[in-house]
Protein backbone atom coordinates (compact mmCIF):
# COMPACT_ATOMS: atom_id res chain seq x y z
CA UNK A 1 0.00 0.00 0.00
CA UNK A 2 1.53 3.26 -1.14
CA UNK A 3 0.41 6.66 0.01
CA UNK A 4 1.31 10.32 -0.10
CA UNK A 5 0.22 13.19 2.12
CA UNK A 6 -0.06 16.78 0.90
CA UNK A 7 -1.07 20.11 2.33
CA UNK A 8 -2.65 23.10 0.58
CA UNK A 9 -0.70 25.85 2.30
CA UNK A 10 -3.04 28.60 1.08
CA UNK A 11 -6.20 27.02 2.50
CA UNK A 12 -4.60 24.90 5.20
CA UNK A 13 -6.35 21.74 4.03
CA UNK A 14 -4.69 18.32 4.05
CA UNK A 15 -4.93 15.56 1.46
CA UNK A 16 -4.03 11.88 1.38
CA UNK A 17 -3.63 9.81 -1.76
CA UNK A 18 -3.46 6.02 -1.59
CA UNK A 19 -2.64 3.40 -4.18
CA UNK A 20 -5.31 1.53 -6.10
CA UNK A 21 -7.64 -0.59 -3.97
CA UNK A 22 -7.06 1.76 -1.02
CA UNK A 23 -8.34 5.09 -2.40
CA UNK A 24 -11.09 5.34 0.21
CA UNK A 25 -8.41 5.51 2.91
CA UNK A 26 -7.27 8.80 1.38
CA UNK A 27 -10.78 10.19 1.63
CA UNK A 28 -11.07 8.97 5.22
CA UNK A 29 -7.80 10.57 6.31
CA UNK A 30 -8.54 13.89 4.59
CA UNK A 31 -12.28 14.22 5.14
CA UNK A 32 -13.12 12.31 8.30
CA UNK A 33 -9.87 12.63 10.28
CA UNK A 34 -8.36 15.81 8.88
CA UNK A 35 -5.79 17.57 11.02
CA UNK A 36 -7.49 16.67 14.33
CA UNK A 37 -4.69 15.43 16.62
CA UNK A 38 -7.04 14.37 19.40
CA UNK A 39 -9.15 12.19 17.09
CA UNK A 40 -6.06 10.54 15.60
CA UNK A 41 -4.61 9.92 19.06
CA UNK A 42 -7.94 8.46 20.20
CA UNK A 43 -7.83 5.99 17.31
CA UNK A 44 -4.25 5.05 18.23
CA UNK A 45 -5.47 4.43 21.78
CA UNK A 46 -8.23 2.18 20.45
CA UNK A 47 -5.67 0.25 18.38
CA UNK A 48 -3.48 -0.25 21.46
CA UNK A 49 -6.49 -1.51 23.43
CA UNK A 50 -7.30 -3.96 20.66
CA UNK A 51 -3.69 -5.15 20.32
CA UNK A 52 -3.36 -5.68 24.09
CA UNK A 53 -6.65 -7.55 24.39
CA UNK A 54 -8.54 -4.77 26.15
CA UNK A 55 -11.21 -4.93 23.47
CA UNK A 56 -11.89 -6.86 20.27
CA UNK A 57 -13.47 -4.25 18.07
CA UNK A 58 -13.92 -0.50 17.60
CA UNK A 59 -16.06 1.38 15.10
CA UNK A 60 -16.62 5.04 14.34
CA UNK A 61 -19.34 6.18 11.96
CA UNK A 62 -18.37 9.46 10.36
CA UNK A 63 -20.26 11.86 8.16
CA UNK A 64 -19.62 9.87 4.96
CA UNK A 65 -17.24 7.06 5.92
CA UNK A 66 -17.04 4.47 8.68
CA UNK A 67 -13.89 2.95 10.14
CA UNK A 68 -14.12 -0.53 11.60
CA UNK A 69 -11.11 -1.93 13.48
CA UNK A 70 -10.69 -5.45 14.83
CA UNK A 71 -7.77 -7.59 16.01
CA UNK A 72 -6.50 -8.29 12.49
CA UNK A 73 -7.64 -5.62 10.07
CA UNK A 74 -9.10 -2.20 9.46
CA UNK A 75 -12.03 -1.64 7.14
CA UNK A 76 -12.97 1.81 5.87
CA UNK A 77 -16.17 2.05 3.89
CA UNK A 78 -18.73 4.51 2.61
CA UNK A 79 -21.80 4.71 4.80
CA UNK A 80 -24.00 4.09 1.75
CA UNK A 81 -22.64 0.54 1.48
CA UNK A 82 -24.79 -0.61 4.39
CA UNK A 83 -27.78 0.91 2.62
CA UNK A 84 -26.93 -0.91 -0.60
CA UNK A 85 -26.54 -4.24 1.17
CA UNK A 86 -30.03 -3.91 2.61
CA UNK A 87 -31.49 -3.34 -0.85
CA UNK A 88 -30.66 -5.69 -3.67
CA UNK A 89 -29.54 -3.26 -6.35
CA UNK A 90 -28.68 -4.28 -9.87
CA UNK A 91 -25.00 -5.21 -10.07
CA UNK A 92 -24.43 -2.38 -12.56
CA UNK A 93 -25.55 0.08 -9.88
CA UNK A 94 -22.84 -0.93 -7.38
CA UNK A 95 -20.18 1.64 -6.54
CA UNK A 96 -16.63 1.10 -7.68
CA UNK A 97 -15.39 -0.92 -4.71
CA UNK A 98 -11.95 0.68 -4.27
CA UNK A 99 -13.56 4.09 -3.96
CA UNK A 100 -16.09 2.95 -1.41
CA UNK A 101 -14.44 0.20 0.65
CA UNK A 102 -10.95 -0.86 1.60
CA UNK A 103 -9.24 -3.28 3.97
CA UNK A 104 -5.72 -3.24 5.36
CA UNK A 105 -3.83 -4.95 8.14
CA UNK A 106 -3.98 -3.50 11.63
CA UNK A 107 -0.20 -2.93 11.86
CA UNK A 108 -0.10 -1.30 8.41
CA UNK A 109 -2.93 1.05 9.34
CA UNK A 110 -1.30 1.92 12.66
CA UNK A 111 1.92 2.81 10.81
CA UNK A 112 0.04 5.01 8.32
CA UNK A 113 -1.85 6.71 11.14
CA UNK A 114 1.41 7.50 12.95
CA UNK A 115 2.81 8.91 9.69
CA UNK A 116 -0.34 11.01 9.30
CA UNK A 117 0.09 12.39 12.82
CA UNK A 118 3.70 13.33 12.07
CA UNK A 119 2.56 14.97 8.83
CA UNK A 120 -0.25 17.07 10.31
CA UNK A 121 2.03 18.22 13.14
CA UNK A 122 4.49 19.70 10.62
CA UNK A 123 3.57 23.33 10.26
Contact 25, 104 (CB under 8 A): yes
Is it the case that residue 2 has pLDDT exceeding 60?
yes
* Cβ count within 10 A of residue 30: 18
Give the pTM.
0.84
* Cβ count within 10 A of residue 26: 20
Higher pLDDT, 87 or 79: 79
pLDDT in tens, 22-67: 999 999 999 999 999 999 999 999 999 999 999 999 999 999 999 9
Q: What is the pLDDT of residue 21?
A: 87
Rounded CA separation 121/118 (Å): 5
Q: What is the pLDDT of residue 88?
A: 52
Contact 112, 42 (CB under 8 A): no
How would residue 85 be classed by pLDDT, with cut points 50, 70 and 90?
very low
How would residue 99 be classed by pLDDT, with cut points 50, 70 and 90?
confident
Contact 66, 59 (CB under 8 A): yes
Helix/strand/coil for 25: helix
* Cβ count within 10 A of residue 43: 21
Q: What is the CA radius of gyration of the chain?
A: 15
Question: pLDDT averaged over the chain?
Answer: 88
Amino acid sequence: MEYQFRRNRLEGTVFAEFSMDHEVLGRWFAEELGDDNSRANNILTQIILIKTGGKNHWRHVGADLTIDIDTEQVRVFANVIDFEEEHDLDEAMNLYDAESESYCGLEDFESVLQSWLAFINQK
